[in-house]
Every structure is written in structure tokens, then in C-alpha cells.
Amino acid sequence: MTRQKQGRILQMKMGSSLRMWHLPLLIVHGQNDKVVPIGQGEILFKRAKRPKFSLKVEKVGCNNALTMNDGAC
């Protein structure tokens, strides 16, 4: 199974779970993320119920969007 196909399957599972989520949701995504493409985060955000918030952090990758370290995974 390709990595792209695995990503789509995970995205479908997450999308289904998010429809049942009734708490505020914050999605933080680094724009240089090489593990999870930013487009997948945007799709999950669109599928989530309100209240929801999205933060796209410039110049960071995965796992460092909150610490603001430079570099991507």
C-alpha cells in the first residue's frame, strides 16, 4: 500500500470521527510538514463541526509547529 493511499484511508477515518466531535477543536499545522500534507489538515478542518479553529504556522514542519523550531521532518 502506498503512503498516499494510507494517508487517504487515515483521512477518511479521521473525518468520520470528527463528525462526532462536539468539543472545540484546534488544528495546528506547519506549512513545511513533509509527513502530513497541509491539504489533508485543511480537509479535516472542513469536515469538523463548530466550534473549530485552524492555525497554519509558516516555516515549520511536523512536531515543531508549536515550538517554532526551523526545519521540517
31 Cβ partners below 8 Å, 6+ apart?
38, 56, 57, 58, 59, 60
Report the pLDDT value the prediction gives residue 8, as an integer from 0 to 100. 65
DSSP, res 28: E
pTM over 0.85: no
Report the pLDDT value the prediction gives residue 30, as an integer from 0 to 100. 86
Per-residue pLDDT for the chain (73 aa), expressed as one digit of tens each? Answer: 676 666 666 666 666 676 777 789 898 888 888 888 888 889 888 888 889 999 998 888 777 666 655 554 5
Report the pLDDT value the prediction gives residue 70, as an integer from 0 to 100. 52
Instruction: Please give the full DSSP string across 36-72, using - where no structure is assigned.
Output: S-HHHHHHHHHHSPSSEEEEEETTB-TT-TTTT-SB-
Task: For 4, list phi and psi in degrees, rounded to 5.
Answer: -65, -40
